[in-house]
């Protein structure tokens, strides 16, 4: 999970939520057509040039509705630390599985098209579940004007250099089953099936 450095002190998340969803502005039909992640599928999200996805920051571990592009300069005494919203892209070209083997993006964000409809572009037509991670840092300082993010190999950079990666390591048919039970069979609805409750 991502580590932060605030005023020189390393902050590790105390917990994180991982959600595989299909939400508006996708339509119910688009959610019903979502494909599961292929086994071994890798993807990257972040704020670096060339990355797709989104990284947002907010005060209070429960304050996601006020998330913004950059870390807030400060949080109030009533806030319980800070949190992040890390969203991975969901539109795949159907060919490449690993970002290390591609010179062109193989998975990108859904977007609004010229006709006003929201969805995947023609070059990346396969819609995958939207993976969102919510790490919480309840012990973070209230003054956040100096925030660095881990970029690997004990190196740190500005928030604009943040990135995260994931690999689909589900065993058996578990990813396919969860996608069917929690997304495809109940598009834009709360599924009654086991393991689909978002809390």
Please state the pTM of the whole predicted model. 0.89
Predicted pLDDT at 89: 94
- Least confident residue range of 37-41, 52-56, 127-131: 52-56
pLDDT tens digit sequence for 75-87:
888 887 889 999 9
Answer yes or no: are the C-beta atoms of 57 and 71 closer than 8 Å: yes
Predicted pLDDT at 51: 67
pLDDT tens digit sequence for 11-27:
989 888 899 999 999 99
């Amino acid at each position: 999970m991502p580590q932060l450095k605030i005023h020189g002190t390393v902050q590790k998340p105390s917990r994180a939520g991982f959600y595989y969803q299909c939400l508006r502005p996708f339509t119910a039909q688009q959610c019903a057509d979502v494909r599961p992640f292929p086994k071994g599928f890798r993807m990257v999200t972040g704020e670096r040039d060339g990355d797709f996805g989104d990284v947002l920051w907010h005060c209070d571990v429960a304050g996601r509705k006020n998330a913004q592009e950059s870390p807030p300069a400060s949080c109030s005494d009533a806030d319980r630390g800070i949190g992040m919203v890390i969203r991975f892209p969901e539109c795949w070209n159907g060919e490449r599985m690993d970002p290390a083997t591609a010179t062109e993006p193989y998975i990108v964000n859904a977007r609004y098209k010229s006709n006003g409809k929201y969805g995947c572009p023609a070059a990346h037509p396969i819609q995958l579940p939207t993976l969102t991670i919510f790490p919480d840092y309840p012990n973070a300082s209230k003054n956040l004007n100096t925030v660095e993010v881990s970029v690997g190999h004990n190196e740190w950079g500005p928030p604009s250099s943040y990135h995260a990666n994931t690999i689909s390591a589900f065993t058996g048919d578990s990813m396919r089953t969860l996608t069917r039970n929690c997304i495809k069979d109940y598009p834009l609805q709360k599924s009654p099936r086991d393991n689909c409750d978002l809390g």
